[in-house]
Structure 1
Amino acid sequence: MKKIFMLLAMLVFIAGCTNQTEETENTGDKETTETVTYESENGPVEVPANPKRVAVLSTFAGNLMELDINLVGVDSWSKMNPNFDEELADVEEVSDESLEKLLELEPDLIIGLSNINNADKLKEIAPTVTFTYNKVDYLTQHIEIGKLVNKEEEARKWVEDFKARANRIGEDIKAKIGKDATVTVIENFEKQLYVFGDNWGRGTEILYQQMGLKMPEKVKEMALTDGYYAISPEVLPEYAGDYMIFSKNTETDTSFQETETYKNIPAVKKDHVYEVDAQTFYFNDATTLDYQLDFFEKSFLENE
């Protein structure tokens, strides 16, 4: 009887632990998978302590690449990013609709944005954690992903290093262009242009939040709250700063650049427009942030 009570006490203790162990039979041997509880925005989720096969359905592939996490599936936007070509060459393209493909890939963790479809079905395939875009700031987001995949220390070190580099480069940029100079970030899609606030990718977090560069008043008025604002090419001069970052989609209409309206913008006349491939510039994951920072350093400090 004493042995039974001891056994029951041990089982209660094990059940109450955060770290759990699942044992599965594999040709007579035991394969052990340790799990931990991640406190997601939707509540606690049991996830692998050290995930080996991660599928990313939106936005966060570059964070996981920076943390050296093995990816078995990524979203279409990540697959289109030229900067990710080499690392994602053998990684499958997946979405929240490709349930059969995800089953075949056998991920041990699925990560996506909070607006993904089929969340309940995805949870049947693997533990699924979602994040609401901009619920936390872009650097805290990287740390949260680090916590999720047991790489918090590495994530925090990257954030501190990134902030130091961005601050240094930002001070050099302000010293060169003047602390009151304004910067506008634009992007073209079909026959419309977009201007961006300070938290919608395209390097805006670096320019405005980290470096403290100034946004034109018109952009601040129309784009700061929602993150972006659609304009026609005809009114671009009203939103143009002393410098412009043009996140350019070459496969859509860029004929506005041939108009007198565009050519007469002071930033254009002074060659203060820095163009970059939009597909490399969309997001604010850690890998893309490194690329954006390098682009800003070369554009502002090595030009002219």
Structure 2
Amino acid sequence: MHKRFRFYVLMVLTLGLAMLMGACGQSASHAGYSGDEQLSETSAAAFSSDTSSSAETVIFHAGNGDIKVPKQPKRIVDLTDFYTGYFLALGVQPVGVSTGAIENPYLKGKLDGVEDIGTDPSPEKILELNPDLIITYSGTEGIDKLEQIAPVVAIDFGKKNYKDQMIDFGKLTGKEEEAKAWVDQWNQKINDLKPKVQAALGDKTVSILNPYAKGLFVFGHNYGRGGEIIYDEFGLKAPPEAQKAAIDSGTGWASISIEKLPEFSGDIIFTCPWSGDTTDPKIVYDSAIWKGLPAVKNGHVFQLNPKGDTYNDPVTLEAQLNFITDSLLSVTS
């Protein structure tokens, strides 16, 4: 996830005893465009000239209202990081994406030739790419500046599950049939794997745990790190305390102290260092409490990728599905 998004998450955690990410926090000011930034007269003139064509448009229902967008956008600039994989899964390659998307290992090789616009691109930088559509988050500061360049679709982060979001992006890009096909193929994969996983694990519980500066984050069903697959698709259970705090609550996460770790630790653990700070995870991993967990003693701990597994886009989910399935089935092999 990119630094801007991580910083927002940490601010929310500090001020509200909560985390809303992410990659991640996934979400008011995901992109910063200072109110002092103005498009130059030359840039504004270029924009006016470039967008004067009578290309066919449609109305798309976005987080920032009903937006008139090209029926089949050709030059998308995606400022979100977390949604880039949706476009790639639809066969639509943006012309510009944020650094966080470039750094997602699961998107490697799929963004060749795409401009890395950084973490806080200026309107002028975006204008250089001559976009016909810009994707950002609801609440992004400076949307009015972006709207001088191209139609802006703002996404309410996490409001829709990934299947509904995929269909939505299919409508946005003129790829609705491709989006439906992806959902159908995904559902078939889950239907094939779910009985095998459930039969192999029985009533074993699963935890997703990330050490961070003040203890651990316990993740649930809708904040990446495989939670969508483990809990929603495979229907596996977390330990009762984790189930209650991170899943049944609807929040998708909980923050705990290391002393409470045994209550939130399942028979199987997926873990990785929290990517939102630089705390040494060995504070947790080398502790007597961690080493005393049954999952650790039994070798049932699996390391996630801190740079990629925070995402839950279709490309990332497909990669996660293979790793999570193999990991879970290895417990009984």
Provide TM-score, normalisation by structure 2: 0.77
- Classify 1:111/1:192 alpha carbon distance in 2 versus 1 (closer, same or farther; 3 Å): same
After superposition, the CA RMSD in angstroms is 2.2
Separation in structure 1 between the aligned mates of residue 143 and residue 119 of structure 2, nearest angstrom: 11
Match in the other structure for 1:273: 301
The one-letter amino acid of 2:302's match is Y
Provide TM-score, normalisation by structure 1: 0.84
Alignment partner for residue 203 of structure 1, among 226, 229, 236?
A: 226
The structure that has the greater radius of gyration is 1
1:95 CA displacement: 4.7
Match in the other structure for 1:18: none
Dislocated runs of 4+, deviation >6 Å: none
Matched, 1:38 2:60: yes
1:125 alignment partner, SS class? coil
Alignment partner for residue 258 of structure 1, among 286, 296, 306?
A: 286
For 1:129-278, list aligned pairs within 5 A: 129-178=153-202, 180-190=203-213, 192-224=215-247, 225=249, 226-249=251-274, 252-255=279-282, 256-278=284-306
Matched, 1:79 2:106: no
Separation in structure 2 between the aligned mates of residue 261 and residue 281 of structure 1, nearest angstrom: 25
Question: Which deviates further from its counterpart, 105-114 or 30-39?
Answer: 30-39
Match in the other structure for 1:127: 151
1:157 CA displacement: 0.9
Question: Which deviates further from its counterpart, 275-284 or 162-171?
Answer: 162-171
Deviations 1:85-140 (A, max 9, x none): 32224322345652221011111111122132211111111111112123222210
Separation in structure 2 between the aligned mates of residue 67 and residue 252 of structure 1, nearest angstrom: 37
Alignment partner for residue 327 of structure 2, among 296, 299, 302?
A: 299
Query: Contact (CA 8 Å) 2:58, 2:69: kept in 1 or not?
Result: yes
1:280 alignment partner, SS class? coil
Match in the other structure for 2:69: 47
Structure 1, unaligned runs of 5 or more: 1-23
User: Aligned pair count?
Assistant: 277
Query: Contact (CA 8 Å) 1:96, 1:117: kept in 2 or not?
Result: no
Separation in structure 1 between the aligned mates of residue 53 and residue 127 of structure 2, nearest angstrom: 20
For 1:54-65, list aligned pairs within 5 A: 54-58=76-80, 59-65=82-88
Higher RCO (CA < 8 A, seq sep 6+): 2
Structure 2, unaligned runs of 5 or more: 1-47
2:238 alignment partner, SS class? coil
